[in-house]
A and B are shown apart, each in its own frame.
Chain A
Amino acid sequence: MNISGLLAQLFAIVMALFLAPLLTGWVGQCRAWLQSRTAPPLLQPYYMLHKLFHKDVVLAHGASSLFRVAPFVVFGCMVLACAIVPTLSTDLPFAPAADTIALVGVFGLARVFISLAAMDIGTSFGSLGGRREMLVGFLAEPALLMVIFTTAMISQSTSVATIVETLAHREFAIYPSLAFAGIAFTFVSLAENARVPVDNPATHLELTMIHEAMILEYSGRHLALIEWAASLKLYAYSCLGLALFFPWGVAAGDSFPAMLAAIPLLLLKLSIGGFLLAVIETVNAKMRIFRAPEFLGTAFLLAVLGLLVRLLLETRV
């Protein structure tokens, strides 16, 4: 772990911190265009974060210290996730800190903290959001693991960096299993990032909300951190998806020129991904919360099929 490696790692984290709200802004803009609305400016998330950081924190009387710590922990988890997922380069010092399974664990930790914080004030919406978040979590994780198993079997590794290196530097081949896993991963990402059709990030005051119900009592810098963390989560998931299914163009070393060269391609991939996300969110309607098991069950089915097809078709020479 040398100095230049650490600097490259730091650079990747800083890039993530700045690109993540941009991605959120881009998705919001595309959504507005697709829905024939006047789009908010691309930098809207930054304005919002800036405004929120300036505001006073208004804490409910019943808030405990856990409530105040949770936004920082959630933010920390997401920073860690962004540091592990190879965005610009595969050879970063933090890459061996966690493989894909541990990455699922990081998201799980953040989820538990935000759910606990939601229950802390003791309001009706808070605990409702908390339990729904945990519900989505336990439905999504088995599907996510099956996706990971499928990709891990192709590259014989669960380390994200190794997966990217194997997939990006091999002869082109069609993997039906990867296609299945990719669709399943998209489903899971939609659920995990509180997107339509499982949740609606734009809704408020609606009995169906999940993520927003949990953070109702947050304000000021705490809310800013949580919103930023949500952006980072979307960014991390997008980059993970790109790394697993479209791994081309990620630099192999930790040299700055190579990483800088990887930026335009990453931006291109992210903007296409963000646009597709906006399309999905536009053509689908939010489903009832108890349809979510079916939705994520489908994701699980796809992932398992991918695994089985992989075992049947692709393991023999």
Chain B
Amino acid sequence: MSGAAISFSGQLINLFASVILLLAFAMLAQRRVMPLINLFALQGATLFLSTVVVAVSTGQHHLYWSAGLTLVLKVIALPLILHRLVRRLYVKWEVESLINIPTIMLVGIGLVIIAFNVALPISQLSDTITRGTLGIALATVMLAFLMMITRTKAIPQVVGFLSMENGLFLAATSATYGMPMVVELGIALDVLVGAIILGVFFFQIRDQFDSLDIRHMERLKDL
């Protein structure tokens, strides 16, 4: 019953996973754009550390590559791109939420409970050192989803999308020590390209509507 039964590296991984979950909640509650991007970078950094610990403790070499990819892409490249976008688009305004924050938080807690319970039988099938964190990974994905649903501005939605990828990555690491390298590289490239394309879209949207509020796009339907 006690935590001492889990090895030290396992404890570290659990700690990092918990921090990732906490950061997911922090992102859900963050109203402003810039801190949101920083939180995303922090989440990436925690994911990087967690992957490194898994790599060291299990000796899975390809995980070093995954960790490096995470570091380069999610901690450095994407936050930089997003920062640039925010500066260029002059959108350092407050992010508004559709529902008020305490309600979102309560929904978030509900999602965590669902995720933990759904993941429990799956993680019992796995025998990895990290299997306990599968529930957290699933919860992170769900929280990112929730964030995308509740936000009305474009950039926070993109951050939500990227954060969801963080959750997926964590899930892959915890269930099977990561996806095959090819898949991982592919996803990484997809995310990068996706972010860039979305960046281009932002400029287009802003030119069109003078705003990045995606509620304006509700007008884009057949009449």
Q: Which residues of A contact B (CB under 8 A)?
A: 154, 170-171, 173-177, 179-180, 293-294, 297-298, 301-302, 304-305, 308-309, 311-317
Contacts and interface: CB of A to CB of B under 8 A. Distances in A.
B101 A313 contact: no
A61 B15 CA distance: 59
A308 B112 contact: yes
Interface residues of B, number: 31
A312 B3 contact: no
Most chain A CB inside 10 Å of its own CB: which residue of B4, B22, B113, B135: B22
A295 B135 CA distance: 27
A312 B5 contact: no
Interface string B90-131: 000000000001100100110011001000100000000000
Given A174-B15, A180-B22, 5 more contacts: A170-B2, A179-B15, A304-B109, A305-B112, A309-B21
A313 B18 contact: yes
B29 interface: yes
Contacts of B108: 301
Contact of A297 (B3, B5, B102): B102
B15 A176 contact: yes
Interface string B6-22: 10100110110111011
Contacts of A308: 109, 112-113, 116
A313 B132 contact: yes
Contact of B4 (A170, A294, A298): A170
B133 interface: yes
A317 B15 CA distance: 16
Interface of chain B: mostly helix, strand, loop or mixed: helix
Closest 7 CB pairs of A and B: A176-B18, A173-B3, A174-B11, A171-B4, A317-B5, A313-B132, A313-B14
A278 to B, nearest CB: 25
16 contacts: A154-B2, A174-B8, A174-B14, A174-B15, A294-B102, A298-B29, A301-B105, A302-B22, A305-B25, A305-B112, A312-B132, A312-B135, A313-B14, A313-B18, A316-B132, A317-B1
Interface of B: 1-6, 8, 11-12, 14-15, 17-19, 21-22, 25, 29, 101-102, 105, 108-109, 112-113, 116, 120, 132-133, 135-136
Contact of B18 (A171, A180, A298, A315): A180
Contact of A173 (B1, B11, B113, B135): B11
B22 A305 contact: yes
Contacts of B136: 309, 312-313
A308 B2 CA distance: 15
A174 B12 CA distance: 7
A176 B22 CA distance: 11
Contact of B109 (A301, A315, A317): A301
A307 B108 CA distance: 14
Nearest to B112: A308
Nearest to B116: A312
Contacts of A154: 2-3
Contacts of A171: 4
A308 to B, nearest CB: 6
A314 B102 contact: no
Contacts of B17: 176, 313
A175 to B, nearest CB: 6
B28 to A, nearest CB: 10
A176 B17 CA distance: 9
B11 A179 contact: no
A315 B6 CA distance: 10
A6 B35 CA distance: 54
A177 B17 CA distance: 11
A100 to B, nearest CB: 20
A230 to B, nearest CB: 29
Nearest to B135: A312
B2 A179 contact: no
A134 B31 CA distance: 28
A302 B21 CA distance: 10
B6 to A, nearest CB: 7
A102 B61 CA distance: 53
A294 B2 CA distance: 33
Contacts of B19: 176
Nearest to A297: B102
Contacts of B14: 174, 176, 309, 313-314
A179 B21 CA distance: 13
A302 B133 CA distance: 18
A317 B90 CA distance: 52
A178 to B, nearest CB: 9
B203 to A, nearest CB: 34
